[in-house]
Structure 1
Amino acid sequence: MRKITMPLYSVWVVTISIQNFGGMWIKNKRVKKTFKLLAIVLTMGILSPWSCTNGTAEQLPKAKHVVVIGFDGLSPDGLEHGATPNFDRIMEEGSYSLHARSVLPTSSSTNWASMIMGAGPEQHGITSNAWEKDNFVLPAVVQSEDFLFPTIFHLVDNQIENAEVGAIYHWTGFGRLFEKDAVDYDINPKTEEETAELAGDYIKSQKPNFTFIHFDHVDHAGHEFGHGSPEYYTSVEKSDELLGVVMKAIKDAGIEDETVVIISADHGGLGKGHGGESLQEIEIPFLVWGKSVKKNHKLKYPIYQYDNAATVAFVLGLKTPRAWIGKSVKNAFEGFDEVDNYPLTMRLEEPVILPAAVLSKKAGGLFDDGKEVTIQNPNSEGEVYYTLDGKMPNKDSNLYTAPFKVTGNTVVKSAMFKNGRISSTVSEAFFRIKEKSLMAPVSYEVFYLDGLTSVPSLRNKIPDHRGTSFEITSDEIKEEVKSNTAIRFKTQIVIHKDDKYTFYTRSDDGSKLWINGEEVVDNDGDHGVKENDGSITLKQGVYPLEVIWFNGGGGSWLDVFYQSPDIPKQIIPTSTLK
């Protein structure tokens, strides 16, 4: 036993000495790599901190070069509705999924970090856009440098001798998410066009082992005009042109036959924001093209944001840390046909209830006396079943055959069914019916302020404008909402039964709700459309209801819901206010 352990112990001491010597004295990146490689050789046979096992065929490099292209805010909907010949070619010549998933929250920093770190926020600790190395709540479980979880940049730099690594990113915030010492070419261009041009020049001149390219303009269009808007689709088509520039550079560099390209996004979007839990926000494209990649292959198993870095490591033959939770998407490559019993659930498109949702506005609306409801089936198959009490549709619910009329406050839910089973997500619409003669029961005050990042105190402040509305919503007063606007809504709510009531605000940016002077909902902060709730026990009676909401800039939205054991969750109807 001693004959075995003593040499290993000696080698371990030498390894630590070399690493310390390199960290303290050797500043040249290439020289440091030589010592790192020597340390790796000396420590062969010692318990490895990496999750892969040496010697298996699947760890051999699949290509010499990997280019990851990330488009901020690019949704599958954008690729399906925009004119995108280059994206289409990538899918025809490669493997793809339009149902990969980002991590929660669907914010940029959290998801770009997960993409390059092979792990989720629970591991890397980047839980919001407010994260900084000197400002965080949750520390990373392991670190490659102070307060930073190890990224794919770090792995490439440490495991490939004389690796050439580049990061070209349109969003400045991306630059704080990776190890600067691991990157040879680190640049933050001012425009998307410059990003593509500099990335192309770099690929042609340096033929890097790993290149990460980030484009930010699609997210800008989503925030300014809304996901699903004509302007949003135009920005996606611009992405297609920029993708063409990068792909041409790879070809002109003469490395096309030894390159794998991975294309994805940090998140999708809903309305003019993101950060929530909807499929529109969480689903992202994941496209793989290049050497050894299956052609025209739709990936049928789940793919997550953190699988991106693991796939890069797989292609380049790198060992991944045990702290990573990402799995390489091996089924995208020739020779790998892993099978399990849980393929991705393929859904039909959900029914569309008219009037349809527009941006952040829910389907349905406020109407006088009654409203005819139409439900459309966007599929070429399946049947639509629906309910009128806010419950989940099932095969025993109403089969939709023709439009119908609602004459009272109604929550309509519908879903696609095929072969007797639910086959889509559930669509919902909120119909609020009022008497034509009803006077608006909500008063509001508008305050134009400066530098808003949270719900302000409005005590002793004089409003710039006053008015009335039928509901507590931004939709009725959208013409008055600018950047740095705070609005206070006041009304009274009629409670007909002693019970526990849950109230919700759904807002971009922050909002708070009070009942009878007691704060019930705190949905504060500078964020996209986000819902938060709180509960309170109320007796039968009439209670003051107040909401303060602010918009710091960009997209804006507010609506308010309530629910009880007897009342399905719904937008608070004007008929319950006075």
Structure 2
Amino acid sequence: MKFKGVSCSVVLLLVLFISISCNESTTSDRKVKHTILIGLDAFGARGFQKASTPYMNKMTANGAIAPFARCLLPTNSSPNWTAMLTGVGPLQHGVYDNDWERDKQIWPPVIATEEGVYPSLINWIKDQIPSSKVHFFYEWGGLARLFDLSEVDKIYRGEKVDVIFEKAVDAFFEDQPDFLFLNIDEIDHQGHAKGHDSEEYFNAISHFDSLIGDFVQRLEAAGLMDETLIIITGDHGGINTSHGGTTLNEIEIPIIMYGAGVNKGLVISKPCYIYDVPVTLAYALGITPPKAGIGRPILEAFNPNSISAPYVPMPLISPTQGFFATPPLTVEITVDDSDAEIFYSLDGSTPSKEAGKAYSAPIQLKESTLLTSVTYKNGIYSRPEINQYRIGNGENGKISWDYYEGNFSQIPDFKSLNIVKSGSSKEFSLKEIPHRSDHFAVKFEATLQIKESGKYTFFSQSDDGSKVLLNGEVVVDNDGSHSSQLKKNQVNLSKGNHPIEVWYFEDTQGQEIQIQIDGPGVPKQILTDKFFR
């Protein structure tokens, strides 16, 4: 494989080639014969902690995990899959978002193969281990455009995920390649369709946990795990039915390492990133990435003197928070660790063993509640999980709304539109508004009651655009066509009544509007009927 620079200058090209060649190493310090990278689309840190994953749990108990590693911004697929195999970010590999194409680049990669893309782990292996075998099995059709696959020994792309997984496993045992890359997209499908906190999303993670477990058992039975390193990770997380934003739910991913030379039961506390993954695999294979790389091998995973950090998985609260028309609502809390205890509160405070209720049976909620839960083990608490349940009482809501239809790319001038229908609701959302799937807008109006003067923060999470107005002035501007995106702003409010409006429009591909408040005596929560006159 020959690399080329992005400049037309022959001198720069020669200098670049020499620098890369000098950066190559021999494989005299090779630590494993086989490496396997399983990439699960939308496999976020929260998803792993909350789903039932007995096989990956066993792998982490006998391997290493960076539970809160981070992917890159933007938190969408193309830049992060590229980083997962190249060890660099968009500034280096040039893939800036999902609209990137080889013939439509805003900036070129800092170094490139003859196909014009940044050299990936595949290229490093083929250059430095000429006799190597590399397999590339994938579900997402957009993946292959990101890499130079000209020297891959076996490529397979399919649409039935279980078939892809089965073929990848069978091919591994047939050829025993130096590197197997396996991409699964199905978890992301469920996240977009049902939500990244939905039962369907968690079930998809559990399903592939089972397939991974079967693969590992075959490797162990064949005596291959002693010479194999497996890494499992995701390209991003998600929030509600989307990703692409800047929340921790979207940014954080787990990196699980299991196999030859990996410490047992190690939780890695140092910051780890998605671009560390290929560099760690390269380290295990005894090869060296290009000097343009920014990823670092996660050496702690292989150091027997590494100290494990504390870690307890978050609880799973079912059903997921939301609006429920009538009481009572039965809520269950579980944790994917049989040795962990669960504590909860119903007033928005963070519970603990000393200041919280021990969970022992399903909870009956008869009114709107801010339920917070943590898990506890060996003196360590998980991150809190906060679910707000908005429970109706059969009465009309205090928010009035008008619904409009049309093709919009920004908040429209409502005065120039015809109202299709009107009504009332208990919150600024679409849950109580009959609407078509795309191309519509809603104008909400209510009177906000502030009980204590002070600074209040308003949050707008919307897909597509939204604005929040108080006393006739825009306080949060989240306008424009975009996927789920959070904007916020802090304002001073006096005690008393304040007119509030929320303007929203939906363009295409998903719809969401959620307005939250945080202020004196008011823990962050969705604005509901109790805040309105």
Same fold, judged at TM 0.5 (above): yes
Correspondence 1:209 to 2:167: no
Q: Which amino acid aligns with 2:67?
A: H
Asked if structure 2 preserves the Cα contact closer than 8 Å seen for 1:144 and 1:154, the reply is: no
Asked if structure 1 preserves the Cα contact closer than 8 Å seen for 2:66 and 2:267, the reply is: no
Correspondence 1:346 to 2:304: no
CA offset at residue 457 of structure 1? 3.3
Matches within 5 A, 1:2-17: none
CA distance in 1 between partners of 2:492 and 2:341 (Å): 43
- Cα deviation per residue 1:355-402 (whole Å; 9 max; x = unaligned)? x5744x36x98999xx999997968677958695x676799x955589
Q: Equivalent residue for 1:505? A: 460
Asked if structure 2 preserves the Cα contact closer than 8 Å seen for 1:494 and 1:543, the reply is: yes
SS at match of 1:475: coil
Q: Equivalent residue for 1:518? A: 474
Q: Which moved more, 1:231-240 or 1:315-324?
A: 231-240
Q: Equivalent residue for 2:508? A: 552
SS at match of 1:531: strand
SS at match of 1:444: strand
TM-score under structure 2 length normalisation: 0.74
CA offset at residue 131 of structure 1? 3.9
CA distance in 2 between partners of 1:427 and 1:19 (Å): 48
From 447, 456, 475, the counterpart of 1:493: 447
Q: Equivalent residue for 1:320? A: 289
Who wins on radius of gyration, i.e. which is larger? 1
Asked if structure 1 preserves the Cα contact closer than 8 Å seen for 2:456 and 2:518, the reply is: yes
Correspondence 1:483 to 2:437: yes
Q: Which amino acid aligns with 2:425?
A: S
Matches within 5 A, 1:368-379: none
Asked if structure 2 preserves the Cα contact closer than 8 Å seen for 1:490 and 1:545, the reply is: yes
CA distance in 1 between partners of 2:139 and 2:268 (Å): 31
CA offset at residue 287 of structure 1? 3.7
SS at match of 2:476: strand
CA offset at residue 305 of structure 1? 2.2
- Cα deviation per residue 1:128-181 (whole Å; 9 max; x = unaligned)? 4344456677x5773325874442123223322254433222112222322344
Asked if structure 1 preserves the Cα contact closer than 8 Å seen for 2:410 and 2:479, the reply is: no
Asked if structure 1 preserves the Cα contact closer than 8 Å seen for 2:40 and 2:187, the reply is: yes
Given the superposition, is the C-alpha separation of residues 171 and 462 from structure 1 closer, same or farther in structure 2, using an over 3 Å criterion? farther
Q: Equivalent residue for 1:442? A: 399
Asked if structure 2 preserves the Cα contact closer than 8 Å seen for 1:207 and 1:253, the reply is: no
CA offset at residue 486 of structure 1? 2.9
CA distance in 1 between partners of 2:233 and 2:396 (Å): 50
Structure 1 runs not aligned, ≥5 long: 1-17, 25-35
SS at match of 2:124: helix
SS at match of 1:172: coil
Correspondence 1:218 to 2:173: no
Asked if structure 2 preserves the Cα contact closer than 8 Å seen for 1:411 and 1:568, the reply is: no
CA offset at residue 74 of structure 1? 3.5
Given the superposition, is the C-alpha separation of residues 270 and 567 from structure 1 closer, same or farther in structure 2, using an over 3 Å criterion? closer
Given the superposition, is the C-alpha separation of residues 404 and 313 from structure 1 closer, same or farther in structure 2, using an over 3 Å criterion? closer
CA distance in 1 between partners of 2:401 and 2:222 (Å): 61
Correspondence 1:311 to 2:269: no
Q: Equivalent residue for 1:239? A: 208
Task: Say how many residue pairs are matched.
Answer: 513
Q: Tell me which of the two structures has the higher relative contact order, counting C-alpha pairs closer than 8 angstroms and 6 or more residues apart.
A: 2
Task: From the two aligned structures, give the one with the greater helix fraction.
Answer: 1
CA distance in 2 between partners of 1:267 and 1:319 (Å): 26
Q: Equivalent residue for 1:8? A: none
CA distance in 2 between partners of 1:544 and 1:400 (Å): 36
CA offset at residue 73 of structure 1? 2.7
CA offset at residue 314 of structure 1? 0.9
Matches within 5 A, 1:149-548: 149-181=118-150, 183-200=152-169, 202-203=171-172, 207-227=176-196, 229-240=198-209, 242-243=211-212, 258-275=227-244, 281-290=250-259, 292-294=260-262, 297-302=264-269, 303-333=272-302, 336-339=303-306, 343-347=308-312, 349=314, 358-359=319-320, 361=321, 388=347, 400=357, 423-428=381-386, 430=388, 439-447=396-404, 455=410, 457=412, 459=414, 460-477=416-433, 480-484=434-438, 486-494=440-448, 501-515=456-470, 516=472, 518=474, 520-522=476-478, 524-528=480-484, 530-535=485-490, 542-548=498-504
CA offset at residue 488 of structure 1? 0.7
- Cα deviation per residue 1:257-310 (whole Å; 9 max; x = unaligned)? 7543333222344544444566655554434444x3448x22221443222111
TM-score under structure 1 length normalisation: 0.69
Correspondence 1:101 to 2:74: no
Q: Which moved more, 1:241-250 or 1:504-513?
A: 241-250
CA offset at residue 209 of structure 1? 3.0
SS at match of 1:310: helix
Asked if structure 1 preserves the Cα contact closer than 8 Å seen for 2:324 and 2:389, the reply is: yes
SS at match of 1:158: helix
Asked if structure 1 preserves the Cα contact closer than 8 Å seen for 2:139 and 2:164, the reply is: yes
CA offset at residue 69 of structure 1? 1.8
Asked if structure 1 preserves the Cα contact closer than 8 Å seen for 2:403 and 2:443, the reply is: no
CA distance in 2 between partners of 1:202 and 1:576 (Å): 60
Asked if structure 2 preserves the Cα contact closer than 8 Å seen for 1:196 and 1:245, the reply is: no
Given the superposition, is the C-alpha separation of residues 380 and 86 from structure 1 closer, same or farther in structure 2, using an over 3 Å criterion? closer
CA distance in 2 between partners of 1:328 and 1:561 (Å): 40
CA offset at residue 505 of structure 1? 1.2
RMSD: 5.1
- Cα deviation per residue 1:476-517 (whole Å; 9 max; x = unaligned)? 34xx35531534132033465876653211234543334426
CA distance in 1 between partners of 2:141 and 2:45 (Å): 25
CA distance in 2 between partners of 1:264 and 1:47 (Å): 28
Correspondence 1:72 to 2:41: yes
CA distance in 2 between partners of 1:19 and 1:422 (Å): 49
Structure 2 runs not aligned, ≥5 long: 9-13
Correspondence 1:569 to 2:527: no
Q: Which moved more, 1:310-319 or 1:258-267?
A: 258-267
Q: Which amino acid aligns with 1:511?
A: S
Q: Which amino acid aligns with 1:492?
A: A
Q: Which moved more, 1:213-222 or 1:457-466?
A: 457-466
CA distance in 1 between partners of 2:128 and 2:189 (Å): 36
CA offset at residue 313 of structure 1? 0.3
- Cα deviation per residue 1:214-270 (whole Å; 9 max; x = unaligned)? 111122123223445443454345425654786699799997775433332223445
Share of identical aligned residues, percent? 26
Asked if structure 2 preserves the Cα contact closer than 8 Å seen for 1:170 and 1:216, the reply is: yes
Asked if structure 2 preserves the Cα contact closer than 8 Å seen for 1:486 and 1:551, the reply is: yes
CA distance in 2 between partners of 1:195 and 1:566 (Å): 52
CA offset at residue 107 of structure 1? 2.8
Q: Which amino acid aligns with 1:113?
A: T
SS at match of 2:80: helix
Asked if structure 2 preserves the Cα contact closer than 8 Å seen for 1:445 and 1:465, the reply is: yes
Given the superposition, is the C-alpha separation of residues 71 and 111 from structure 1 closer, same or farther in structure 2, using an over 3 Å criterion? same
Q: Equivalent residue for 1:33? A: none
Given the superposition, is the C-alpha separation of residues 394 and 100 from structure 1 closer, same or farther in structure 2, using an over 3 Å criterion? closer
CA distance in 1 between partners of 2:366 and 2:43 (Å): 40
Given the superposition, is the C-alpha separation of residues 482 and 327 from structure 1 closer, same or farther in structure 2, using an over 3 Å criterion? farther
CA distance in 2 between partners of 1:414 and 1:86 (Å): 25
Asked if structure 2 preserves the Cα contact closer than 8 Å seen for 1:482 and 1:553, the reply is: no
CA distance in 1 between partners of 2:211 and 2:394 (Å): 55
Q: Which amino acid aligns with 1:300?
A: V
Q: Which amino acid aligns with 1:552?
A: T
SS at match of 2:187: helix
CA distance in 1 between partners of 2:258 and 2:148 (Å): 27
Q: Which amino acid aligns with 1:339?
A: S
Asked if structure 2 preserves the Cα contact closer than 8 Å seen for 1:87 and 1:240, the reply is: yes
